[in-house]
Structure 1
């Protein structure tokens, strides 16, 4: 398990990289908007009916995504040097892209 300082650094880095990918994808889609507030990344949808919330959970050293009435708990993978969902092996960006595509029913959404 990562120590707290390393977890904070890696989770901040991962969320910032995801935020930059989301901002770039916003320009293509216009169906969602990413905003950060106090270390929490929110993806707001234009229809106003839902949002995704991505937050670090320091005590358990996980990144949590609350989306589509489900909680996804990503853990640090030393081999991948990334936060991944143990059940599927998806990293943070890949999982977020899949969730956006499913939620918006738009297979063209790409997080670079």
Structure 2
């Protein structure tokens, strides 16, 4: 398991990268969703008011948690890949968020780079 400072460093980097990707995708999504960052808790709020996704680091257990589509996703740090990944599928943070956005909005053109 990562020590706390390593977790914070890796999670801060991963979440900042996700934030920049979401800001860029938000501009291309024509109001389908908006992104907010509130003291380290990321919210993706949908224009139709249907729901929101929440992304947050969980420092005590060294995971990034995502609440989306009535499901909780818990991503662990992968030393081999140097990313936070969902153990069940191997998806990294951006790939998982991109898939969830595409599913929720029924829009296969959403891309997180």
TM-score above 0.5, yes or no = yes
Stretches of structure 2 that go unaligned for 5 or more consecutive residues are none
Distance 2:6 2:79 in 1: 12
Report the Cα offset of residue 48 of structure 1: 1.3
Give the aligned CA root-mean-square deviation in angstroms.
0.6
Aligned to 1:21: 21
Query: How many pairs were matched up?
Result: 112
Distance 1:34 1:80 in 2: 27
User: Could you state the TM-score of these two structures normalised by the residue count of structure 2?
Assistant: 0.97
Distance 2:9 2:93 in 1: 15
User: Could you state the TM-score of these two structures normalised by the residue count of structure 1?
Assistant: 0.98
Distance 1:65 1:40 in 2: 10
Report the Cα offset of residue 80 of structure 1: 0.6
Q: Runs of 4+ in structure 1 displaced over 3 angstroms?
A: none
